Amino acid sequence: MPKRLIKKYIPSQQAIKDNKYLSIFGRHILAPNLWHLNKRSVSGAFTIGLFCAFIPVPFQMLLAAGGALISKVNLPVSTALVWITNPLTMPPIFYFAYSVGTWVLDTPVSDIEFSLSIEWLRNELAVIWQPFLLGCLICGVVAAFIGNVLVRVIWRIIVVQSWQKRKGNRLT
């Protein structure tokens, strides 16, 4: 069921071929695992997408897309997952990452008032960059690992249930 739902929103191979913006990638964009939904492709996409979600840079989707192209994992899933850190969730997620970094480095948590400005980036980020980036790295690796394992486990459970259902239907 989830596979059919996701497949409904993934573009067809012909639509990808005809898209003028994707033509710069040539035939690499048509690699089967970039668009197919299988356990390896989706679990790898979760790994890349969740890791890239914790990278504190603009255009995380480009990083996830590049990682998906290199790793030949599902492109739409990996790029969609970076939206876990959207403008609403970014402050608490990145504050949590900063807290993890301060805990690992055993440094005190600074009382920070966030403001999206060049001054704030120059002054405040210069003070907290080490625990912040370390926390982002740790959270990204942990989220990527957990996401990969969960997808594989859930995928296996769904496949086993499907086999059992088919087996039950044959016996009746």
The pLDDT tens digits for 131-159 are: 999 999 999 999 999 999 999 999 999 88
Residue in 133, 134, 135, 113 with CA at minimum distance from that of residue 124: 113
**Is residue 1 pLDDT above 50, yes or no?**
no
Task: Count each helix (H run) and each strand (E run) in the chain, helices first.
Answer: 7, 0
Residues 31-40: what's their mean pLDDT? Answer: 81
Using a 10 angstrom Cβ sphere, with 0-12 exposed, 13-18 middle and 19 or more buried, the burial of residue 22 is middle
Residue-range definition of the domain harbouring residue 19: 2-171
What's the average model confidence in pLDDT over 124-129?
80
- Determine the residue type at 93: I
Banded model confidence at residue 11, pLDDT cuts 50, 70, 90: low
The tally of domains found in the chain comes to: 1
Residue 168 pLDDT class (50, 70, 90 cuts)? confident
CA distances, 25 to each of 17, 30, 32, 52 (Å): 10, 9, 14, 21
